[in-house]
Each structure stands twice: as structure tokens, then as C-alpha cells.
Amino acid sequence: MSLPQPSPIDVERSGPSGEFSQEERTSLLQLAHESILSALQGREFSLDPPTPHFAELRGAFTSLYLDGQLRGCVGYVLPTNSVYRAVAETARAAAFEDTRFRPVTIEEAPHLQVELSILSPPQPITAEAIEVGRHGLLISTSFRRGLLLPQVPIEHGWDRITFLEHTCRKAGLPPDTWQKGATIEAFTAEIFGQKH
């Protein structure tokens, strides 16, 4: 089975642009597909970053779509792995470990569209400084943590307060927890992928 070729048209919906070249974006999208396909075929492949840029420690999310519908989304916000490894691991996890969906099948794999979100490190922010469409949010207490990517409030038409409330809900917290001592952090994301 051959790998699907990433579309030449990127989707960049928010965050800083230009950090990753078109060639780098294509390579990362191909890596995501290869990670999923290799798991389905029971084979290994190298996770050694091929360039210094891909060796940088970053958080990343991989979203998978099939026929325009979300098919899986997994990631991590903290920069604990290289960009290269983060994309490979989150792609595989989105395909097989997102408990909202059944695992991706080998028949589906060639038809998946991939969207990648490469994250900046999270930084503390005041609620008033949050920019909808630019910032993703991480809201945490001692026991719970919720995260929403920058594109989420745009997709749903949320304002800043609604975005804060939904991030609290994602953590399993009351929606007003952001006003009651929770830690609020923001990050940006370079978001690109295939049309879906």
C-alpha cells in the first residue's frame, strides 16, 4: 500500500506563520501518514530527526479526518519530545488510542487527511490578554487540566469568556473555575494540513 500524498494546499488557521517551510510541512505530514501505516503493517521506522529544526523540543497535536469528519485527535502541549517524534507519536495515538473512536483500519489509512498543530511552549497569561484565534488555552488546578487548541473557538464562534469556560469544562471543572484561582496558560500553534 502506498502512502497518500499530502495536498499541496496547506490549511493555516491561526498562530505564527512561516516557521516551517512548505517542504518541512510536507515532510511532517508524510511522517504522520507513515507512522500510522507502519503501525498497521507491523513494521518499524526511524524516529531520528533528519534536521536540527525537527530535533527541537515542541508540543504537538495531530488531528485526523475522514470524509470531512474528525477521526481522531491526540497530542501533548508540553515540549517533551522533538518535533519529529512528537508528530509520529501523536499521529499513531490519534489513529489508535483516541477512545472516542474505533481504531483506524488499513482500508481507511490511505484516505485520512492530517492536520498538525505544532505548539509554542505554554506561558502564563491573564484572562484579559487572551486573543481568540491566536491563543490556545491550558487551564489547570491541582488535580485537573484542560486544553483547547487555538482553532477551536473560531470553529465554534466562541468569544473569550466562552473559550475560557469551555476549557474549564474540558478539564472536568465548573465553567467559572478560571475566575477562582485556576492557572491559565496560553500557547500559539502553527497549524497546517490537508484539506478536509
Return the bridge partners of 117, or none: 61, 191
- Residue spans of the domains in the chain: they are 22-119, 123-189
pLDDT at residue 18, rounded to an integer: 67
Is the predicted pLDDT of residue 13 greater than 60, yes or no? no
pLDDT at residue 181, rounded to an integer: 92
pTM above 0.85, yes or no: no
pLDDT at residue 78, rounded to an integer: 84
Region 123-189: CATH code? 3.30.1490.150
Model confidence at 196, in pLDDT bands (50, 70, 90)? low
Model confidence at 14, in pLDDT bands (50, 70, 90)? very low
User: What is the Cα–Cα distance from 15 to 176, expressed in whole angstroms?
Assistant: 26
Is the predicted pLDDT of residue 6 greater than 70, yes or no? no
* 60-68 mean pLDDT: 94
pLDDT at residue 125, rounded to an integer: 96
Nearest partner of 122 among 43, 184, 52, judged by Cα: 184
Q: Return the sign of the alpha-carbon dihedral for residues 123, 128, 130, 131.
A: negative
Sequence-distant (≥ 6) Cβ neighbours of residue 133 within 8 angstroms: 14, 150, 151, 153, 154
Model confidence at 9, in pLDDT bands (50, 70, 90)? very low
The tens digit of pLDDT for each residue in 39-62 reads 999 998 888 899 999 999 999 999
Region 22-119: CATH code? 3.30.700.20
User: 123-189: same fold as 22-119?
Assistant: no
